[in-house]
Amino acid sequence: MEAATVVSGRSSGQKADSRLKRVSIIWALLFFNALTPTTGSLLAIPHRAAQILTQGSLLVALVLALTINPRLRMRPNWCLGLYSVLTISSLMMSVRLVGLGTEYRSARLVIFVFVLWLLTPWWGRRDMVVLRSQMRFLLIILVSVLVGSSFPPGSPCRRDV
């Protein structure tokens, strides 16, 4: 019976655990993508580098989401349906405008919503993997804000760029 549960050298439980870890990583990358790069923080990261990191995290999240959901199985969801309508209308409006920036932002929004659609099989599960990931990253952001607020703007530890 145990030999039947082994798939390519790994048990089905290990395969499920690695998928849940990747769901958490994807959620972290989406969360990181939504953060805006700031200047004057404790970490002196150049603005362009911070933009590349946040925007690159969306592409990494897309690739990881396609690896855990290669058959593109999605669950129906009203909220994501409305976001999809918003995304499509945003994309239609950006094509009419002259600037390349609006088209780029609309394409990023399409990718973001598509990754959310790819994660719908893990929404509403009993183990609440997406909810636990969201709570974990909100706690990380809260702790980082508290640490950052403990250093006043004029302190020697803080370097404004």
Residue 47, domain member (yes or no) = yes
Looking at the domain assignment, is residue 120 inside a domain? yes
Q: Are 67 and 22 in contact (CB under 8 A)?
A: yes
Tell whether 154 is covered by a domain: no
Is 153 part of a structural domain of the chain? no
Compute the average pLDDT of residues 129-154. 82
Q: Which domain holds residue 26?
A: 11-142
Most confident of 37-41, 130-134, 155-159: 130-134
- Could you tell me if residue 155 is inside a domain? no
Count of domains for the chain: 1
Helix (H, G, I), strand (E, B) or coil at 73: coil
Q: What is the pTM of this model?
A: 0.76
Q: Is the pLDDT of residue 9 over 60?
A: no
Residue 70 pLDDT more than 60?
Answer: yes
Q: Is residue 149 part of a domain?
A: no
Residue whose pair of structure tokens reads 């925007």 in the numeric block: 55
